[in-house]
A and B are shown apart, each in its own frame.
Chain A
Amino acid sequence: MSEPWEDDELDGPVRKFMYVNRRAPYGTIYALESLEVVLIAAAFEQDVSLVFMDDGVYQIKKGQNTEAIGVKNFSPTYRALEGYDVEKLYVEKESLESRGLTADDLVVPVQVVDRNQLAELMEEQEVILSF
């Protein structure tokens, strides 16, 4: 991570950032480019939360194999987030259940929260980026 354009860290107040992932991977680029934002954001030492809800829960589904579609499988990168001190990963319970998934189906350990808890968490944030 030492490209010349990536050294623009700055000192300032720590704000509560929440990244809300609502879209499935591969069908569109939003999931991948959202992950790229989170990786860069980690360098700014803000208070980062990551949410997976709606089809966003599919981003962290185990067992992704993209060989035959010719696209890079970026799901292992979610496991690296811990190394970037991005540790608050939330998954919405209703989104998981309505898709027949459980936390065991996911590539990373997450905190499963229900819709109301998530709404409260969102209210606590200062900056929300929804992808």
Chain B
Amino acid sequence: MPMLHTVNKSPFERRTLDTALRHAVKGSGVLLIEDAVYAAFEGTVVAEKVRAALGDLKIYVLGPDIAARGMSEKQVIDGLEVVDYGGFVDLVTEYDKVQSWL
């Protein structure tokens, strides 16, 4: 498998998610952690962009960071996969390498 990209910035404050999405080749995975989980929900101005990216990429979001922020997994955009820390570890090992976009 190609690369797993991790992103930890809110898409409303920083452009890191855009950058990661633009540099992720088809078949890559993108994992949203920490403040980047705010990109994962329906009804925001970035939801359409995230949905569009699902055509070429797998997008995951860290459940513990969703819960910590009072957000609801029910509102997560269809097609995104919610994982816990164990799932985070699995993704790191399943993809060939990891790029942490800081």
**Cβ-defined partner of B3 (8 Å) among A22, A115, A122:** A122
Chain A, residues 45-75, CB within 8 Å of chain B (1/0): the string is: 0000000011000000000000000000000
Q: Which residues of B contact A127 (CB under 8 A)?
A: 97
Using known A-B contacts A123-B3, A125-B97, A127-B97, determine if residue A115 contacts B102 with beta carbons closer than 8 Å.
no
Q: Bound state CA distance, A126 and B98, in angstroms?
A: 9
| Total residue contacts A-B, CB cutoff 8 A | 34
A119 and B23 within 8 A (CB):
yes
Does more than half of chain B's interface fall in helix, strand or loop, or is it mixed?
mixed
We find that the number of chain B residues with CB closer than 8 angstroms to chain A is 14
Q: Which residues of A contact B101 (CB under 8 A)?
A: 22, 130
**Cβ-defined partner of B97 (8 Å) among A118, A126, A131:** A126
Q: Which residues of A contact B22 (CB under 8 A)?
A: 115, 119
Residues of A within 8 A of B (CB): 20, 22, 53-54, 115, 118-120, 122-123, 125-128, 130-131
